[in-house]
Chains A and B, each alone.
Chain A
Amino acid sequence: DQQVKQNSPSLSVQEGRISILNCDYTNSMFDYFLWYKKYPAEGPTFLISISSIKDKNEDGRFTVFLNKSAKHLSLHIVPSQPGDSAVYFCAASATYNQGGKLIFGQGTELSVKP
């Protein structure tokens, strides 16, 4: 049972436009959500996170929105740049989980074209 889902395997966007990456989850106990970015032949790197007490968190060009009632979060990148081309993973955790375990989605490959 996939508790965290990214239903779009890939997304192509023009440079300068907005990229919107989506993520859905099923476990209502999740209360902390993260986005990771992964380049080929490298490990995932932390990008931005949001706690369930918030519905929005911004960091420069990156904004994460959380809709708890819909169990949905999204990552907005504005403006998109060619260097943003990578695989993006959303992840979720619950504070009751011993060890801070994360559940990852399948990833969305973003391609930003010049």
Chain B
Amino acid sequence: NAGVTQTPKFRILKIGQSMTLQCAQDMNHNYMYWYRQDPGMGLKLIYYSVGAGITDKGEVPNGYNVSRSTTEDFPLRLELAAPSQTSVYFCATGGLENIQYFGAGTRLSVL
């Protein structure tokens, strides 16, 4: 039982490149979330999903896209990477209670 798995753990992008951050869960949770954490700041919600085929914007969605074709997977897409997207990205899942379970994170640098 792996819980929430994020890949890759680290990535360096050049400005304008694109990439997909992967998130997979085996907890059979309907809710999934993407957050970013900047130094000295809390976690900011980028996008979330309440089930397969349903996604919605969070607090800081600009520059990102998501899809949710299955219960297990919730990839986050960066189309044109910018230095402002340098951050640590966390994926999380949530069940019936409001407790969320987090992956280990992806550290992204855009240079």
Contacts and interface: CB of A to CB of B under 8 A. Distances in A.
A99 B29 CA distance: 11
Secondary structure type dominating chain B contacts: strand
Contact of A99 (B42, B50, B102): B50
B50 A98 contact: yes
Given A4-B42, A89-B42, A44 B98 contact: no
Contacts of B40: 9, 106-107
Nearest to B102: A43
Given A101-B45, A104-B43, A46 B99 contact: yes
Interface string B43-61: 1110011100000101000
A41 interface: yes
A19 to B, nearest CB: 19
Interface residues of A, number: 24
Contacts of A41: 104-105
B4 interface: yes
Contacts, number: 61
B105 A100 contact: no
B31 A43 contact: no
Given A98-B50, A99-B50, A101-B45, A44 B31 contact: no
A38 to B, nearest CB: 9
A54 B99 CA distance: 17
Residue among B35, B43, B44, B103 with most chain A CB within 10 A: B43
Nearest to B6: A43
A43 B98 CA distance: 17
B100 interface: yes
Interface in B52-111: 56, 58, 90, 92, 94, 98-105
A45 B43 contact: no
Interface of B: 4, 31, 33, 35, 40-45, 48-50, 56, 58, 90, 92, 94, 98-105
